[in-house]
Structure formats: C-alpha cells, structure tokens
Structure 1
Amino acid sequence: MLDTEGDTHRLGAFLKDRRQRLDAAALGFGGRRRTPGLRREEVAQRAHISTTWYTWLEQGRGGAPSPRVLDSLAQALMMTEAEREHLFLVGIGHPPKARNSAGEGISGRLQRLLDAMPFLPATVATSTWDIIGWNRAARLALTDYEALAPEERNILRRMFLDPATRAAQSDWEAVARFLVATFRAETARAGEDERAAELVAELSAASADFTRLWSENDVRMTGEGAKTLRHAVVGEMTFEFSSFAIDGRPDLRLMVYVPAGSADLEKMHRLCGPA
C-alpha cells in the first residue's frame, strides 16, 4: 500500500516519464503533438482503464492501483522486467509475482556459474523450496537431484516425508524449523500463495511434524547459516551456507555451501575428485 504523498508522486512521475518515451507513430497513433510520447488517453486505452483514473494516477491522487492494473500499465507502456518491478515497488510497495515458472529451469549462464564451483555444493531453489538447478558437488554431497523426478526435488517434501533425508541431518528439528519459516516468508514475498497453499495442505495431511511447525507461524529470511550432514561415504560434513538473490527472478535464490573447515574441504575433494 502507498503510505506517503511522496510514494504517489513517485508513481505518477514514473508513469509520465515512461509514457513520454514511447513512439506514438510506431504504436499506430497519429496526429500532430506538442509533446513527445503518448497522450494520457492513449495509455488508458492500451491499458483498458479510464482516462480519468490514469490521469489521477499520474497526478498522485488515484489511490493504490491493483496488481492487475499495474500489469496492464506495464504492458501498455512496454516496460522491461526491471521497469515493471520498479512500477510495483513505487505503486504498491512490493515486487510483482514472478512471471517465470519453476518448470522453465535456469539459464545456461547461471548453470555455468554453478559448474564453476567444483568443490562447493550449490543449488537454485524456488520460494517453495523446489530445487531447479544444481552442480556436481551438490549431487555428490547433498542429493542426487538428477536421479529424482521433478516433484521429488522439493526440499520440504524430502525433509518431512523421506526417512533417509531426515536421518542425514545432524539436527533435523533445527533444519526443519528453518525450512518452514523461510518457506512462509519467501512464498509471501514472491506472491506464490496458490502454490504454497497446495504444498501446505499436502504436507499437513502427511506429516504431524510439519503441522506442528507450521502452526508456530515463524518467519525468517534464508540469509546465512551452518548445516551439518551425515554423508554415507565420507561421514559428517559441516557447511556454511549463504543465499543470494538472482537478478530478474524474484522467485529464485542461489544457495552456496562452503565447507566449514579444512577437514570438510578435504572430504569434498575426496567426493569430487580432481577439479
């Protein structure tokens, strides 16, 4: 929601600036013009809203528009993804729901980044903890995601429903609590309400532990932390993990696991072999 007069003026100024940047002739609007760009009524026409309301929005007195209207304005003004996100931030105070779906996977550039870390397990996760990208080190140290069906790559499902995953955690309760709290916060931030509700219903029906932790209403950001695993080949390993935002994909985050000590790094070298 808009909280200050300054917010509404920022929205209006941004809309006006983007309106004046467009080529009216290229978009099929003729006639002589005293100023560059589209007229307000032409933007309103393209966005399927009233000219009066659009004028109010530019003047900072139209109130907070809905996400649907902001999406229509972003399309009408031919905004880039970065401009669309900024429109939502100045318009209603939070970024838009991601347009990309988890099924689309990750870019080749991001995969090459993952592969450039031969001894550091790294994954890309959605806000609902679906793993959609990983490197070889993650396969060897964490989970062989390639061997799993896409629906089995969800970390919440594995943590609460897979006995082997549960047994591999040195402190299952702490890890599970962290996952549930970040899931609640990240899905709300990314606007994944429908997907989150489906997963909550599924896990609540199958796991009393999930129901217990979900009822606590804890929230936290992924951030940084430490994680100790019991590995079947090299024994216990401790990692320090960090989470990174992925530009242009507010629904995704990069997780990198760094061996906490020299003994842990030596175990990763044993697992992965020569770089």
Structure 2
Amino acid sequence: MTSPDNEFLRSDRAGLEPSSAGLSVHPALRQLLDAFPRAAAFVLGPALDVLAANRIADALLAPFGDERSLPRILFTHPAARAVFVEWPFVVSATVHALRLNADRFPSEPTIAAVVAELSAGSAEFRSLWADAPASGLGRPYKVFAHPRVGRVELTYQTFGVEDAPGQQLLVGTAESLASQDAIDQLAALARA
C-alpha cells in the first residue's frame, strides 16, 4: 500500500488533516476549472487562499494584483470595500469559514499564519475572530463591483475535494443576463 493509502486508513473523515501536498492542486482538478467557460471557478485551500483558478476567476480577482488570500484581500487591500459590494457580510462569512477550518485543521500552518498576521494588523479582524462561530462561507450569493466590467452577481456552489482535505472547488455562475454579459466580458479580457 502506498503512503497516501496508509494515511487514509489511519484517519477518519472528520480527522483528516491537509498535508503540505494539500496546497497543490491535482492536474485533473485544474483541467476541470477550465471546463467552466462561462463561470468563475477556483479552488480554495484551508486558509482560504485561491490555489488555482480559471481565467474568469483570475480576471474577477485582477483588481487585487497577485494577492490570492481572500482574508488578506478583504482586510488589507484598499480596493476590497469597493469591489465587494456587500463587504460587511463577506468579511463576516469569510472569518466564520476561516474559524471553521481552524477548528477542523488545528495544526494547519497556513491558517495560523493568516490569523496571526491579520490579528496583528486589523482590529476589525480581531473583533470578528473573537466572536466568530465556526460556520461555512455563508450564502452562496456574492456581488462584485468590478472596475472593468461593472456589477457582477454570482451564485456559488461549493464542493469538497475528496482527495485533498481542506480544499474546496467553488463555481460562481451569473445570477442575471447582465451579470452573464459581465462574465463574458471578463472572459474576453482574460483571452486578450
């Protein structure tokens, strides 16, 4: 039996911990991201870092430069409050999801690092973290005010990645024709 097989047999589903390999995304999953040509699709790691994304999701996150940590974007990037239309709700849901992952994966260093960094630099994060119950990412609906294409309303579906504990595949589809037009514009920008 291979080492990953042994690891699986020693663990129960609730006790699985992400490994350092948990931060890499399997090539088949990367390929799956590209199978969503009219949706924003990405893989989140346990610390809510975007580990992989399709072109549309990359274009949606373009206002934040190279930063791919959703908690860092929300609490440290100057454009976050303008881009995330429902910023107070989004930060609360994100802190709750981070707390849930911290409880599920207590020895995950990427979670500890982002919590320490944001606790040191943001009173707002500290307050939310202290009061955050462990819950998921919240309602699957997000509204963006993208600087290049305008308002984008997406409904997200979230899927656990069975062979990579701590990873989640999120697929955001347009909530309206106007949002689909904006997504199509993002896709065109990504191809350019």
Residues 234 and 178 of structure 1: CA distance in aligned 2, closer, same or farther (over 3 Å):
same
2:8 to 82, 85, 89: 85
Q: Is 1:134 matched up with 2:49?
A: no
Give 1:232's aligned residue: 147
1:222-270 alpha-carbon deviations (Å, 9 max, x no partner): 3651000001122111100111011210121111111111221122112
Residues 164 and 220 of structure 1: CA distance in aligned 2, closer, same or farther (over 3 Å):
same
What is the root-mean-square deviation of aligned Cα atoms in Å? 2.4
Instruction: Give yes or no for contact 1:169–1:228 (8 Å, CA) kept in 2.
Output: yes
Instruction: Give yes or no for contact 1:85–1:95 (8 Å, CA) kept in 2.
Output: no
Give 1:11's aligned residue: none
Q: Which amino acid aligns with 1:158?
A: I
Shift of residue 162, structure 1, vs aligned partner: 0.5
Q: Which amino acid aligns with 1:99?
A: S
Instruction: Give yes or no for contact 1:168–1:230 (8 Å, CA) kept in 2.
Output: yes
**SS of corresponding position for 2:135:** coil
Shift of residue 106, structure 1, vs aligned partner: 1.3
Q: Is 1:250 matched up with 2:165?
A: yes
1:75-109 alpha-carbon deviations (Å, 9 max, x no partner): xxx466456335322xxx73332223455x21221
Task: Provide the rounded CA distance (Å) in 2 between the counterparts of 1:245 and 1:271.
Answer: 26
Which 4+ runs in 1 deviate beyond 4 A? none
1:204 to 107, 111, 119: 119
Instruction: Give yes or no for contact 1:222–1:243 (8 Å, CA) kept in 2.
Output: no
2:19 to 96, 99, 120: 99
- Unpaired runs of 5+ in structure 2? none
1:143 to 46, 51, 62: 62
Instruction: Give yes or no for contact 2:63–2:79 (8 Å, CA) kept in 1.
Output: no
Structure with bigger gyration radius:
1
Give 1:260's aligned residue: 175
Instruction: Write out aligned runs for 1:32-181 (5 A).
Output: 78=1, 81=4, 84-89=7-12, 94-101=14-21, 103=23, 105-143=24-62, 148=66, 152-181=67-96
Task: Provide the rounded CA distance (Å) in 2 between the counterparts of 1:245 and 1:223.
Answer: 15
**What TM-score results when the alignment is normalised by the length of structure 1?**
0.63
1:32-63 alpha-carbon deviations (Å, 9 max, x no partner): xxxxxxxxxxxxxxxxxxxxxxxxxxxxxxxx
Higher relative contact order (CA 8 A, sep 6+): 2
Instruction: Give yes or no for contact 2:84–2:145 (8 Å, CA) kept in 1.
Output: yes
**SS of corresponding position for 2:42:** strand
Instruction: Write out aligned runs for 1:184-195 (5 A).
Output: 184-195=99-110
Give 1:71's aligned residue: none
Task: Provide the rounded CA distance (Å) in 1 between the counterparts of 2:107 and 2:171.
Answer: 23
Task: Provide the rounded CA distance (Å) in 2 between the counterparts of 1:121 and 1:182.
Answer: 20
**What TM-score results when the alignment is normalised by the length of structure 2?**
0.87
What fraction of aligned residue pairs are identical, expressed as a percent? 26
Q: Is 1:219 matched up with 2:142?
A: no
**SS of corresponding position for 1:98:** coil
Task: Provide the rounded CA distance (Å) in 2 between the counterparts of 1:96 and 1:269.
Answer: 38
- Aligned length, in residue pairs: 190
- Unpaired runs of 5+ in structure 1? 1-77
**SS of corresponding position for 1:249:** coil
Shift of residue 219, structure 1, vs aligned partner: 1.5
